[in-house]
Amino acid sequence: MADTMQAVVAESLSGVSDLRIGKQPVPEPKPGQVLVRVKAAGINYADVMQARGLYAGGPKPPYIAGVEAAGEVVETTEGSSLKVGDQVMGYGVSAFAEYIAWPAGNLLPLPDGWTMEQGAAFPVQWLTAYGCLKTVGRLQEGDSVLIHAAAGGVGLAATKLAKHLGAKVFATASSQEKLELAKAHGADELINYSTQDFVAEVKARTEGQGVDLVLEMVGGETFERNFRAVKPYGRIVVFGSATAKQAVIDNTTLIFKPVEVIGYHLAVMAQKRPDLMMPCLGEVMQLVRKGIINPEPPTTFPLADAVRALSDLEARKTTGKLVLIP
């Protein structure tokens, strides 16, 4: 094995255009970690936010970008339950590289029949979608849910899962093409937020009641307007802030517009509430085994084109999941 590898390095917090492809030392796994040769690495909007310095608790430059990958175990350490040759998928840090050294607990076996690209498209988007809908969103059969950016990676996963759970899905997106993609994944009500007021549309299509649950990842004005799109005593789950704009809802507002608001972050739940994370993981893997979760082939880019892929994602030019191939 070589001592160095190709990796995508952030040298500043000036945005994705400042990412560079260069040589880095191959990481040395610590006890309990394994070294994985990366075969595919999933791209997430969090990578864009981190590159702009807008991700709370994000890494400081210089750092290797990426938080999600699939590959083959090439070296193990004492305390690891994995063995050399295992095909795995998971989430961690520094994923946009030819090798990663991650705790064995961050990795799951690649399901039979899945490609590495599917494995890299699974952990963040599907665990986030299920966690938002079920673990903290408490979605029940017969509920209605508003999913913003429904043609994105998490949006499509959430749409499919919500339909499986028996919900009525209201999907927003910026174009008819994206809305048709959401419809193909089970969306019932389509709202083009570029030309339609999503609050007015939701109200009109729910007889003025609003939806039971909103999945919120936009921030700013959209976050505030969700309080008018959700039913009194409904729920809003916040799992991102694509605009990086802050919003304020004060305590008095919550008295007279009573809505439950809760955040969701995959890594935070895994670290702070494993008692919630483990059942969530078990339920999701049951859906994998039943074939209900089977990620569609993502759009792939070579590692050398990481800047272009992330720029397209930031510019809202993409749909579904994007994956880098080292």
pLDDT tens, residue by residue, 204-258: 999 999 999 999 999 999 999 999 999 999 999 999 988 888 888 889 989 999 9
DSSP 94-152: --SBSEEEEEGGGEEEPPTT--HHHHHTSHHHHHHHHIIIIITT---TT-EEEESSTTB
User: What is the predicted pLDDT for the residue at 138?
Assistant: 98
- CATH architecture, domain defined by 125-268: Alpha-Beta Complex (3.90)
State the Cα–Cα distance between residues 136 and 141, nearest whole angstrom: 15
Report the pLDDT value the prediction gives residue 246, as an integer from 0 to 100: 87
Instruction: Residue 116: name the closest of 46, 21, 5, 42 by CA.
Output: 42
Question: Is residue 147 over pLDDT 90?
Answer: yes
Domain limits, CATH 3.90.180.10, in the chain? 4-122+295-325, 125-268
Tell me how far apart the alpha carbons of residues 17 and 112 are, in angstroms, rounded to a whole number: 37
| Residue whose token pair is 């739940």 | 269
Res 207: pLDDT: 97
Q: What is the DSSP letter of 272?
A: H
The pLDDT value recorded for residue 79 is: 82
pLDDT value at residue 249? 86
pLDDT of residue 1: 78
CA 68 to CA 223: how far, in whole Å? 27
* Structural contact between residues 157 and 129, judged by C-beta atoms closer than 8 angstroms: yes
Percent pLDDT > 70 in the chain is 100
3-state secondary structure 20-62: EEEEEECCCCCCCEEEEEEEEEEECHHHHHHHCCCCCCCCCCC
Question: In this predicted model, what pLDDT tens digit does every residue of 41-88 receive, in sequence order?
Answer: 999 999 999 999 988 788 999 999 999 999 999 999 998 889 999 999
Sole residue written with tokens 């917090």: 13
Q: In this predicted model, what pLDDT tens digit does every residue of 157-203 receive, in sequence order? A: 999 999 999 999 999 999 999 999 999 999 999 999 999 999 999 99
> What confidence category does residue 15 fall into, taking pLDDT thresholds of 50, 70 and 90?
very high
The pLDDT value recorded for residue 242 is 87
Architecture of the CATH domain 4-122+295-325: Alpha-Beta Complex (3.90)
